A and B are shown apart, each in its own frame.
Chain A
Amino acid sequence: MQIIALYHIKGGVGKTSAAVNLAYLSARSGAATLICDLDPQGASSFCFRIKPKFQSGTEGFIKGGDYLEMNIKGTDYEGLDLLPADLDFRNLDIAFENRKKSRKRLGKSLSSLITGYDYVILDCPPNITLLSENIFNAADIVLIPIVPTTLSIRSYEQLKAFFIKNNYDVAKISGFFSMVERRKRLHKDIVATMQGQYPEILESAIPYLADVEKMGQNRAPVCAFAANSRAARAYENLWTELIEA
């Protein structure tokens, strides 16, 4: 089982779109896949038309095993299941805080899943909290969508510094450019500079495209409702590069 976390300290960077499409592509390739919607806003649950309701509460979430299993829902796509979000997930931090080994509970809870998944994709909430630290421990890859702006570079560097300072495995971090506008000179320049500077940043980038925006309307991965679109191809390239890396 490989755990891939889509993470960024701030919202609106294309995290959920990537999580939803990568999970879809993973399942389409024949791998048993679970997407966990850890964001209380429930955007990826919404994309799969699944009600954001986690019946076992945060305590159940942390206990794992059957408490997780009973909440897993099959999506419209074979081989792809989803663990829905819940508004209660906003309290996961407090729940982790009250436990021993409070930074390693998520990994333990996920590893207790009876059903064998080849890939577990985590759609993470935007912030840096105890939950995020659990994610850094549990994930095999922490995948960061980077919008090519000066501020993004700064927060990417901040995250790496946080990893080093707190003894998380910095080799887990990988990034990709998201919402790239080819017409913007600044975007082009930043992509070129950063890719040279950070070898862990993947070459495949996700352009800023209307099809990606339509996911909310269609409530489906763009790779499913517009399989031949530029957006779908961009996610395909990203997935291939990610698993081959």
Chain B
Amino acid sequence: MKYLYDLRNTPDDNAIASFLERAFRIESDGVSADTIKCFDTFDWRLYNKNRVLFFDGKLWTLAGYDDGEAIAELKWGRQGVYAWDFPESSLRESLTDILEMRALIQLFEAKYCTEKLRILNEDEKTIARLNYHEVWIDDGGSSQEPGVIRQIQLVPVRGYIAETRDVDEYLLQHNYPHSVDYWVHSALQMLGNTPGKYSSKLKVRITPEMSAAGAAREIMRFLLSVMKQNLPGIFADIDTEFVHDFRVAVRRTRSALSQLKKVFPDDDTQRFKADFAYVGKMTNHLRDLDVYLLSKPEFLAMLPDELKPGMTPFYSYLKRERKKALTAVFQEMQSEKFLTVLQDWESFLGKDLLAPNASIPVKKFADKRLHKTWRNFVDEGSVIDEQSPDEALHDLRVTGKKLRYLIEFFASLYPAKEMNKMIKSLKSLQEHLGKFQDLCIQEAFLRAFVDRYSKKHPDAHQTMLAMGMLIGSFHTQKNTIKNNFPQYFHKFARDDKSQLFSGDN
């Protein structure tokens, strides 16, 4: 139960204390005024976990989004961007779990005034707390007056719940209705911001009566909007995930272009396939470098302490390279070629063009594609054993990815429970394949670095030893995955889901 009350329609906004005094003993702990900043990540990770982060210049507070209840506090006067910027504390621990590698972005800044009241019993013991919040939201000039939110929050004291209920009843009786939301939500609404509005997850609703081309356009439009929404964050280099989400949207677009066969005219399909291959390639190097930089703690953990300093040249190299790669991405993203691709693609998606599969019902189309890709995946996977070459696992990963994207595109056409289960089990299998692929690439990357670096610094034994240990560890991990893979695959394939795509649903 959250005891929040709106004061929007109540006439005596400023007289809450004197109003309560008519029925209760009240003690004021004073009024405090501050400027408060409110944060979340671009993809609303805090909001999605019902959290919000405040900073008043001295104190960081992680609180419940829906009730403002403080979950962790940290006295720290500096502005943190990533979870790892914060000093060791329970606040940092909670942020690390939720934010992972994402940066904090300021949602708004507000002038904030709170009066803290305590409600006392006959022994003058506090039996409930009551916070009166007044928040002035400045929307940056789009309206003349800053918006004001007034809210009362009744905070129960442990062991005095009956007394809290009495206060609650009194407020309700006197025209202080319960608020639906904590003031932060009202503030965001006032600013025209919708929490949770961005998500990289494919949120497209395809219905069975849609045409295959119509559904394809719907999916592609969503993916294009994800690409576009991430561009400002890429240019501002806020965190690594803008590039990552952009790349995933490009990859899904490319997969859709090649898998949703003949829903668009052939010439156009060929052209955009080439265009998005170019767009995808643009960020390859940058993403690789980001991945190595992000896995720094993981790599260092694999090494004994005395070899850790040996990694310094590697990370200095990565940082220098990343700077160059980022500049290259900026240039490419401002190029005529790139902007034309996006514009042409957008206008293409607005057109309804003739193609062999364009007008067939999407359900029929999806059944066929999914059935076939599922069979291919199972056939390919079931012949893999410890002796198979690395390439067999790579190829299977590619087919698996195709299957996963197809499932995600068309999930809304099938029973949600079954599809979620399937996505989940496919995802866990793909994680092994993805890890295997990463290990292969990392091994090659480290080898290439060693080749170059050892020529210039033949005496850098510590660095060579560290690299050697990592490569050795990658190799062991690869073998473990390969040896266990038949077992993983058997677990995945033991219940055949292909009947889901037989057209009977």
Contact = CB atoms under 8 A, between A and B. Distances in A.
A66 interface: no
B125 A50 contact: yes
A230 interface: no
Interface stretch (B18-26, B153-161, B343-351, B465-473): B153-161
A171 to B, nearest CB: 27
Contacts of B157: 73-74
Contacts of B124: 49, 219
Q: Report the interface size class on chain A.
A: 10 to 19
Nearest to B127: A74
Contact of B158 (A30, A49, A81, A219): A81
Nearest to A82: B159
B126 A76 contact: yes
A73 B123 contact: no
Most buried by B among A72, A73, A76, A219: A76
B275 interface: no
A134 to B, nearest CB: 24
B158 A73 contact: yes
Interface in B120-135: 123-126
A49 B160 contact: no
B332 interface: no
B118 interface: yes
A interface: dominant SS: loop
Contacts of B75: 30
B159 A73 contact: yes
B109 interface: no
Given A30-B73, A76-B118, A48 B158 contact: no
A219 B123 CA distance: 9
Interface string B97-137: 00000000000000000000010000111100000000000
Contacts of A50: 125
Interface residues of B, number: 11
A35 to B, nearest CB: 13
A49 B73 CA distance: 28
B125 A49 contact: yes
Contact of A73 (B73, B118, B160): B160
Nearest to B126: A76
Interface in B50-83: 73, 75
A30 B73 CA distance: 8
Nearest to A48: B125
Nearest to A115: B158
Given A30-B73, A49-B125, A50-B125, A74 B118 contact: no
A72 B160 CA distance: 10
Contacts of A74: 126, 157-160
A76 B118 CA distance: 9
- A48, A49, A219: which has the most chain B beta carbons within 10 Å? A49
A48 B158 CA distance: 14
A76 B73 CA distance: 19
A73 B126 CA distance: 11
A118 to B, nearest CB: 10
Nearest to A75: B126
B159 A49 contact: no
A76 B125 contact: yes
Interface of A: 30, 48-51, 71-76, 81, 219
Interface of B: 73, 75, 118, 123-126, 157-160
Given A72-B159, A73-B158, A73-B160, 16 more contacts: A30-B73, A30-B75, A49-B123, A50-B125, A51-B123, A71-B159, A72-B158, A73-B157, A74-B126, A74-B157, A74-B159, A74-B160, A75-B126, A76-B126, A81-B158, A219-B124
